Amino acid sequence: MTKSQFEVREIHTKEEYARLVDVLWSANFNPYNPVFTAVHPISGHTAEDRVKDKALDTEIRWAAHEKNPASHLIYVIDTETGRVAGGCEWLIFHKNPFPNGPQPLSCTWYPEGSERAEYASRMLSQAFFPRMCWLQRPHAGVNAMGVHPDYRRRGVGRLLMQWGHERIDPLGYESWIEGSPIGRWLYEESGYKRVISLNIDFAKKNPSDEWNRLVHECQPPAILLLWRPPRGEWNDKVPPGPWAVTEDTWK
């Protein structure tokens, strides 16, 4: 068997993660993803701004990863060149991560009290609300997946998905993705089905010019909420959606 050009590795240092951050930024600006500018620190668009913003992004995300035992950061390496081809975060929860039910999600990458922080918090709180309601049990999720434009349509995304499924399928865990339309076909090929499309509500009484600008520039397309039952087995045991799962469903 011919050895694959690509190898999936788990990230163990901040320096490794910084390499993935470079790729995620390239992936989300080619093509431009409006969501990215809301959920990552963007202070400007010069080369100097980009270096500073990536460094802050790395610090914030790495600190969150270190505090979260469910977080697994992985990347795919091109073994012929040493380049990072893509990566993502797998979250594997071995117990209910939402014991207090749905909670607002705060923004730590824009100044507290700013409208940019309020905008990001509103978007994330709504996007993750269904997961916090419906998946109050052990499960897995995928966050922040990206593939460098040079490596698209070469199986990199499939390798990232397989890495997680190889770990959760023996445990019988469901998995869940708040996905974008651009990744839909990869997720469906990996055993997920869209259960709902979510549009974020940014309506506000007497909005400021800044708020209107943010809505115009950063409003995401419909967010696809995708679900995969244990081992990706869509049989008669699978209910209409994760909201209908009970303690006896997977027995």
We report the CATH number of the domain holding residue 198 as 3.40.630.30
Mean pLDDT, all residues of the chain: 96
Instruction: Calculate helix-pair angle for 209-218, 115-134, nearest 10 degrees.
Output: 50
- Is a pLDDT exceeding 60 seen at residue 1? no
- Measured between alpha carbons, how far is 210 from 198 in angstroms, rounded to an integer? 24
- Is a pLDDT exceeding 80 seen at residue 129? yes
Which residues span the domain enclosing 158?
6-244
Answer whether the bond into residue 31 is a cis peptide, omega within 30°. yes
Predicted confidence at residue 11, as pLDDT, reads: 99
* 2 confidence band (pLDDT: 50, 70, 90): low
> Distance from first CA to last CA of the chain, Å, rounded?
38
10 within a domain of the structure (yes/no): yes
251 within a domain of the structure (yes/no): no
23 within a domain of the structure (yes/no): yes
Contact call for residues 117 and 107 (beta carbons, < 8 A)? yes
250 within a domain of the structure (yes/no): no
Paired tokens of 30: 């080619």
47 within a domain of the structure (yes/no): yes
pTM of the predicted model, to two decimals? 0.95
- Measured between alpha carbons, how far is 195 from 114 in angstroms, rounded to an integer? 34
pLDDT in tens, 31-88: 988 889 899 999 988 999 999 999 999 999 999 999 999 999 999 999 999 999 999 9
Mean pLDDT along residues 170-186? 95
249 within a domain of the structure (yes/no): no
Predicted confidence at residue 125, as pLDDT, reads: 98
174 within a domain of the structure (yes/no): yes
194 within a domain of the structure (yes/no): yes
DSSP 95-164: S-S-TT--------SS-TTSHHHHHHHHHHHHHHHHHHHH--SSEEEEEEEEE-GGGTTSSHHHHHHHHH
Predicted confidence at residue 35, as pLDDT, reads: 87
The number of folded domains in the chain is 1
